[in-house]
Amino acid sequence: QVQLVESGGGSVQAGESLRLSCSISAYAWVRYSMGWYRQAPGKEREGVACIDTSDKATYVDSVKGRFTIYKDNAKRTLYLQMNSLKPEDTAIYYCVADRSWFGSAWWPPKYWGQGTQVTISS
């Protein structure tokens, strides 16, 4: 009953912007916290941003002030607006969801999308 399909990745230069989108099934949309994780080449996956069912948003320090997570309830779509992109933001970005809040310790959520590649050049 939980399906996540993300899109919007691509290749841009440093300083530019991208917006990632994630279509989420109705069951998860109503009940689950959701967010974005990423995995850079040769590195472990890390949490980026998450938002709970009350629209409380949390970000990791490296993206604060640059990234914004938000939801469109009419479209059941989760977004990650990424501004002032840096080469170190290059990674595969995953839309994620879980019944429990994962934005404190950033433990791995239960449900993951297929991932979308974001590449930032200097």
Tell me the per-residue pLDDT of 50-108, one tens digit each, with 9 for 90 and over: 999 999 999 999 999 999 999 999 999 999 999 999 999 999 999 999 999 999 999 99
* DSSP secondary structure letters along 11-47: EEETT--EEEEEEE-HHHHHH-EEEEEEE-TTS--EE
* DSSP secondary structure letters along 74-110: TTTEEEEEE-S--GGG-EEEEEEEESS--TTT-PPPS
Q: Which two tokens stand for residue 107?
A: 């433990």
Instruction: Assign 1 a pLDDT band (cuts: 50, 70, 90).
Output: confident
Residue 105 is classified by DSSP as T
pLDDT recorded at residue 77: 97
